Amino acid sequence: QPLRFPGHYHDATTGLHCNRFRYYSPELGRYLESDPVGIQGGLNLYGYCADGNPLRDVDLRGLNKPCPGNCPQQTPPEELAAAEGTDPPGTRRDSSGQLRYAPGHERAGQYAPDPNASGSRIPDHRADRTTIDAHGAALDPSAPATRRALRDRARAQRDLERARAAGDEAAATDAQTRSNRATEQLGEQAADAWAAAAHPEAERVHGGRGPGTFDRVYENPPHRRPPQYIIIEGKGGSSTNSSSRLDGLGERHQQGTTGYRDSVAEHMRDSPRSDAATSELGRQLLVQGDPSRIAYVEVSQPVAPDGSLPPIQARRYSDRTSSTEE
């Protein structure tokens, strides 16, 4: 074989030696040539950014050389400081600035709802969450329902990894759906466990799943009020408050806000699918009066990478004020 530069590829069919390395443009943020042989997918597999001899100067990623034309090699510190804490937990920005779920999240690598983006689905009214006492609430991994949810989630996660590795999008979607369903069940179980610990005399008067309803609603007896009603949104795994609902003025309210709560209560009251008890509960939740009459709470059950269950977390919802947004 004749002498070849590092990165040369010998094509046995044509007898040619092709250079796999390509020049990188920091201004464009990509390599300037596609794979010359066409044996690999994608546009950014190989490359070097150098003016010298590739025998001596090889940079696979095109990131080691000073960037010509004053191109910054990394995000300026002031921009990092400004961005710190503005994105939802469990997310990070990719190279193009798109918000994605971070590794360890149920939907790692997928696009995440961006609260700082513009668009018709961005809430006009957002919720704040304040950590409150979890009262030692915990799920028992050996309990049948919890054990079943953990088992189903583990199987779905395993199937998801295999489907992604095989490039089977349909199987990956199915596995992700099954994983989400299992983590939702853990969130609902955590909601019940927290309610039993924080409000032991409260009675569960409603349980639902999906849009247009609350996960759980509990009612305290008269001598334990306020609050009279405890509305709980159960979260499993790394789930976030991505839901929102429109009001009569066309403004969108994030889950956890008073507007969102009232919109769900109106749906429970007015929906033809609601039974008499659900309709009456919706009407009661819309009664104006003492704000302490209703507690709106998020209860989450994280899931560790090894499948174990960290402590349950509880947070109280409140409407975000303009001073908070600033």
For the chain, which residues make up each domain, given as ranges?
1-83, 127-144+185-325
Whether 48 contacts 22, CB under 8 Å: yes
Query: In this predicted structure, what is the pLDDT of residue 206?
Result: 96
Spell out where the chain has E strands. Answer: 8-11, 16-19, 24-25, 30-31, 91-93, 99-101, 127-132, 203-207, 216-219, 229-236, 244-246, 252-254, 294-301, 313-319
What is the 8-class DSSP label of residue 106?
Answer: T
CA 32 to chain centre: 34
Q: Report helix, strand or coil for 274.
A: coil
CA gap 278, 326 in Å, rounded: 39
Whether 262 contacts 231, CB under 8 Å: no
Q: Report helix, strand or coil for 109.
A: coil
Q: How many CB atoms lie within 10 A of CB 246?
A: 15
Whether 160 contacts 175, CB under 8 Å: yes
Measure Cα distances from 205 to 74, 211, 213, 288, 317 in Å: 54, 18, 13, 20, 20
Query: In this predicted structure, what is the pLDDT of residue 156?
Result: 93
Measure Cα distances from 41 to 16, 44, 110, 146, 275 in Å: 20, 9, 20, 42, 55
Query: In this predicted structure, what is the pLDDT of residue 226?
Result: 92
Query: In this predicted structure, what is the pLDDT of residue 237?
Result: 75
Task: Name the burial class of residue 235, with classes exposed (0-12), middle (13-18) and buried (19+) by CB atoms within 10 angstroms of its CB.
Answer: buried
Weakly modelled stretches of the chain, pLDDT under 50: 1, 34-60, 62, 65-85, 323-326
β pairing state of 294-301 and 229-236 = parallel
pLDDT tens digits for 41-57? 444 444 443 444 444 44
